[in-house]
Amino acid sequence: DAKTTQPPSMDCAEGRAANLPCNHSTISGNEYVYWYRQIHSQGPQYIIHGLKNNETNEMASLIITEDRKSSTLILPHATLRDTAVYYCIVRVADKTSGSRLTFGEGTQLTVNP
Amino acid sequence: DGGITQSPKYLFRKEGQNVTLSCEQNLNHDAMYWYRQDPGQGLRLIYYSQIVNDFQKGDIAEGYSVSREKKESFPLTVTSAQKNPTAFYLCASSTRPISSGQQFFGPGTRLTVL
């Protein structure tokens, strides 16, 4: 699976959009981009995933560049409860790996009042 | 409520003792996973199972063992051979379709070996 690079920490004001970048310059054509988050001392929570098109759900939007070498997770109106570590994961789907995920160190997002 | 339960939340053991961590899910998921997390680090895969009676080693399987006798249960044993067992342990499950990377995580067990 391709490696990802994320900034170690970011800050955001409550109510503003939080834009979390991820670099995955070695991504292959069959690799998906997944985002998870982990609130302190809890299990990670799935947010969103995509292959090459932009995606949106009730939690966030995922913007993937045309060359697929980077992506941005957007939380449109950040709240204090969005303070967490956000993980960007690149994963290939095949029969041997199944749903294996490789977590890096992620980005600590702190939403300030 | 459907979900994944892990018990206990906190566990203390003396060095040299084996300890078994429980993970149960009622989501009817075929695949289950165990991860380890150290302070300030990401998650590392210990073992995973895609179907009952089958499991594969992850990236850091040494010193750990698992079983998958029932679809709902995937217990992890931390043996005395694990050199640094103190960590936060997370269990997860997912449906089988290989295109799905959506895993559901339990609340975790924090193991401290004294």
The residue type found at B63 is: G
Chain segment B48-57, per-residue pLDDT in tens: 998 899 999 9
Of B31, B99, B107, the CB nearest to A43: B107
Q: Alpha helices, DSSP H only, in chain B?
A: none
What is d(CA A59, CA A42) in angstroms, rounded to the nearest whole number?
A: 18
Contact A13, A111 (CB under 8 A): yes
β pairing state of B10-13 and B109-113 = parallel
Please judge whether A99 and B88 are an interchain contact, meaning their C-beta atoms are less than 8 angstroms apart: no
Inform me whether the pLDDT recorded for B2 exceeds 80: no
How close A64 comes to chain B (CA, Å)? 17
How close B106 comes to chain A (CA, Å)? 6
Chain segment A3-24, per-residue pLDDT in tens: 899 999 999 999 999 999 999 9
Average pLDDT of chain A is 91
Residues of A with CB under 8 A from a CB of B: 32, 34, 41-46, 49, 87, 89, 91, 93-95, 97-106
